[in-house]
A and B are shown apart, each in its own frame.
Chain A
Amino acid sequence: MLGTTVILAFRAINRHKLRSFLTTLGIIIGVAAVVTMVTLGNGATAAVREQISSLGANVLQLRPGQGFGRGGGGPRPPDFKPADLTAIENQLTGVRAVAPMAQSSGTAIYEGNNWSTTIYGTTAAYFEVQSWKLTSGRLFMPEEEQAGRPVCIIGNTVRTNLFQNADPIGQRMRIKGVSCQVIGALATRGQGGFGDQDDVVVMPIKFVQRRFTGNRDISQIMIAVDDAYDTSTVQNSLEDLMRERRQIKAGSEDNFNVFDTKQISDTLTGTTTILTQIVGAVAAISLLVGGIGIMNIMLVSVTERTREIGIRLAIGAVAGEVLMQFLVEAIVLSCLGGVIGLFLALIASWSIAPLMQVPFMFDVKVNLIAFVFSAVIGVVFGYFPARRAAALNPIDALRHE
């Protein structure tokens, strides 16, 4: 008996192509909208997470001045001195690694290629603080740091612009007119909200101070907090220590600031969570709207087909057979719509994700939920009006206009 109803269902679908298409359309749009939105939303979330993690976890950044953009006017607050660094290393508890930084910029040249970039002067601790790995080569030796040797570790953007596919390790390049040897190449960190993080040349701080900045000032100190310690406690001790060392009177404002990456990471994670929830809510609404679309077209279609149901009953179809036919039709259309919807969502999110600069994140769970939900709506709303029609007296169904 199932065979008969399957034949009849496929005949009905084939004969009423427009009606079948409209029924399917609700499901296609519902599924495609939801899956595309959630896929892109997940991609955006992942992109934000990646940017956060590139800041490094539990890192305090100590800078002179009053935070970003504040405290304009007045004399420029002094940079830090090497003695400040020693004090932090020796007097502060809960510190895992400390990296001083001196910054400069200039052009790097290798065999006729030149590239304008940022120069960081720091120590090997910088890479630990930043959790930044090398793809090849090595870090600075203690002797190289102390003597300020002309060695450098280059970011991926610098590497591709100067060396293309050649191995840079051991090569000598010129930076700001000074020759230096490339000893390491960094793993890529990508484009973040903080500019191209791979466009950098890292050198021993003493070299940068001697040859480029011309003094022993440290423009920034990065401190990695030991996981066993509370970041805010360490931050408070750090602030006390610096107020004391910079001789700031009680009641006066700090002329330095401590920037907690954990804090901003928490804020951004919170934002991302809200973003995900909003995307989820919008997705749920569009799925609901898609469901109502399916429901409407199914109701209209069954009402329209009441006379057909009457004919089938009159010529000897049992109500169950008529119902089964409608059920098979609804299942076929719903599943077909679901599959087309998933396919469209795949194409849409795959092509939109690069435009939004977010990774393409295929989520099986979302695909499955959207598909099952619309299929169930299609089947339920195809089934119940049909059941009502099949329960009619054949004569009443036949008279139906």
Chain B
Amino acid sequence: MPADPIITLRGVTKIYGSGATEFQALKGIDLDIAQGDFVAVMGPSGSGKSTTMNILGCLDVPSGGEFLFKGHHVERLDRDQRALLRRRYLGFVFQGFNLLSRTSALENVELPLLYRGEDKKTRYELGMAALDKVGLKQWWDHTPAELSGGQQQRVAIARAIVTSPDVLLADEPTGNLDSERSVEIMELLTDLNRNSGITVLMVTHEPDMAAFARTIVHFRDGLVERIEKGLAA
């Protein structure tokens, strides 16, 4: 079922600091991620999984190697070009939700559309549709403070998918939630992957959550240790 790779990493390295404090977080990653895949990235702290996610999310640049996203050499793009790439193809879900405070669910969800320059009517329609998809349509005018953790994360997912991205990156999306809410979030991501064709990349350290993925990539000491099929495959 997985088709041609949407993401290709070749010999990607990442070095933080310099001189005595130099730290090599990634020591040469080779990885292909196919369009429509659901990848769980696992590994102990400091194994390089978060660094890899940041590079895949175009938030950070590799120190060496090649990163091809839909054929673009991301390592050659500048800050603004990467921002435009994020705006066009990527959606983000964070462990800490990262919603704008005192801002209604709908306005949080509309934010990426504003940066895309969509008009008011389109923003409203797409925003409400995304909230409907995560089951929070009737909560559209509530601010994050008025929503539970699980609801906030679903708003964050709605914000990530409102632009119909090719790839959804989720960094420990269930890290701040209890197991029941976690399962709901995972079911939502699975649904988006299956029915909307969104490629999902997720960092997690919980095997229960990784079990929802088609592919599980294990990291250790800045290298890909092994790749295995998940239960969903």
Contact = CB atoms under 8 A, between A and B. Distances in A.
Interface of A: 1, 4, 7-8, 11, 15-16, 307-308, 310-321, 393-395, 398
Contact of A315 (B60, B84, B159): B159
Contacts of B163: 316
B179 interface: no
A315 B102 contact: no
Contacts of B160: 315
B59 A4 contact: no
Contacts of A308: 100
A321 B60 contact: no
B86 interface: yes
Given A7-B114, A393-B59, A317 B98 contact: no
Contact of A16 (B86, B102, B112): B102
Interface string B71-87: 00000000110011011
Contacts of A7: 114
Given A398-B94, A398-B98, A315 B112 contact: yes
B111 A315 contact: yes
Contacts of B83: 313, 316-319
15 contacts: A4-B117, A11-B107, A15-B102, A311-B98, A311-B99, A315-B91, A315-B111, A315-B160, A316-B116, A317-B83, A317-B87, A317-B115, A318-B79, A393-B60, A395-B59
Contacts of B80: 318-320
B193 interface: no
B59 A394 contact: yes
Given A7-B114, A393-B60, A318 B94 contact: no
B92 interface: yes
Nearest to A399: B96
Given A315-B160, A316-B112, A320-B80, 6 more contacts: A15-B102, A314-B92, A315-B86, A315-B115, A315-B159, A317-B87
A1 B114 CA distance: 9
Contacts of A8: 114
Interface of B: 54, 57, 59-60, 79-80, 83-84, 86-88, 90-92, 94, 98-100, 102-103, 107, 111-112, 114-117, 159-160, 163
Contacts of B79: 318-319
B141 to A, nearest CB: 13
B117 A307 contact: no
Nearest to A311: B98
Given A1-B117, A4-B114, A398-B98, A318 B84 contact: yes
Nearest to B53: A395
A318 B86 CA distance: 10
B172 to A, nearest CB: 13
A67 B177 CA distance: 94
B115 A321 contact: yes
Chain B CB within 10 Å — which of A1, A8, A313, A316 has the most?
A316
B84 A316 contact: yes
B111 A15 contact: no
Contacts of A4: 114-115, 117
B100 A311 contact: yes
B158 to A, nearest CB: 12
A2 to B, nearest CB: 11
Contacts of B114: 4, 7-8
Contacts of B90: 316
Given A314-B59, A316-B84, A395 B111 contact: no
A82 B54 CA distance: 106
A269 B117 CA distance: 63
Given A11-B107, A395-B54, A316 B59 contact: no
Given A11-B103, A16-B102, A314 B86 contact: yes
A224 to B, nearest CB: 74
Most buried by B among A15, A16, A314, A318: A314
Given A321-B115, A395-B60, A398-B98, A316 B86 contact: yes
B169 to A, nearest CB: 10
A83 B63 CA distance: 109
A316 B88 contact: yes
A4 B112 CA distance: 11
Report which residue of B59, B87, B92 has the largest number of chain A beta carbons within 10 angstroms of its beta carbon: B59
A305 to B, nearest CB: 10
Contacts of A311: 98-100
Contacts of A393: 59-60
Nearest to B111: A315
A311 to B, nearest CB: 5
Given A4-B117, A393-B60, A394-B59, A315 B92 contact: yes
